[in-house]
A = this chain, B = another copy of it.
């Protein structure tokens, strides 16, 4: 039977094998939710980069630049890391360079996997359906916060385990823990997350609307997949 495992932060990635495995990266507040939204609204590709400077270089080559550092937009860039930024006609067909605090790091760390997919609650069922149809094991990689675990990405992992559990084995406790937390919180994720560290940070920044949006399940039938160093939309 295929196996699904959960890596609670990129700091633990070296403990997981990547061969024969599809990695699903989640940074639900807000990088991967932005990416999924961007593809749902027709961007051509997204190149995840590590630094603001690298983002500027791509901007000079005609990419739209999107960046966040500590949950705030960077001066001079076209896009910030609110998913609502990507809901506009002007982004259709465009190339985007995006750097985020945690999500980009998680994606670039996963390159040796069979495939790297971008997951969020917004495309949960699209991801689950695809993984069920593939012969590979699955590793959900939570982007976390500066190396530490966070509740929202863990809940996404639990939601994906929940959708997969009749088709996959869970070998490790992290998958079990994520699934149990999701079971406990799924009826009202927003209030379940109310005391989490990231929600407290984001609420100080006044982006409650983003949070509510990012917690919606199955809004888009879109799967961003890493090809070379760019994310593109998988043909479904």
Contacts and interface: CB of A to CB of B under 8 A. Distances in A.
Nearest to A175: B197
Contacts of A197: 171-173, 176
Contacts of A181: 177, 180-181
Interface residues of A, number: 27
The A interface is mostly helix, strand or loop, or mixed, namely helix
Nearest to A146: B15
A181 B180 CA distance: 7
A177 B6 CA distance: 15
Contact of A149 (B148, B151, B173): B173
Contacts of A151: 173, 176-177
A12 B195 contact: no
Contacts of A154: 173, 177
A171 B145 CA distance: 13
Nearest to A198: B173
Interface in A128-151: 145-151
A70 interface: no
A149 B177 contact: yes
A149 B196 CA distance: 20
A184 interface: yes
A147 B16 CA distance: 10
A104 interface: no
A172 B148 contact: yes
Contacts of A176: 151, 195-197
Contacts of A9: 12
Interface of A: 8-9, 11-12, 15, 145-151, 154, 171-174, 176-177, 180-181, 184-185, 195-198
Q: Closest 9 A-B residue pairs measured CB to CB?
A: A151-B173, A150-B173, A15-B147, A149-B174, A173-B197, A173-B196, A184-B184, A15-B148, A11-B12
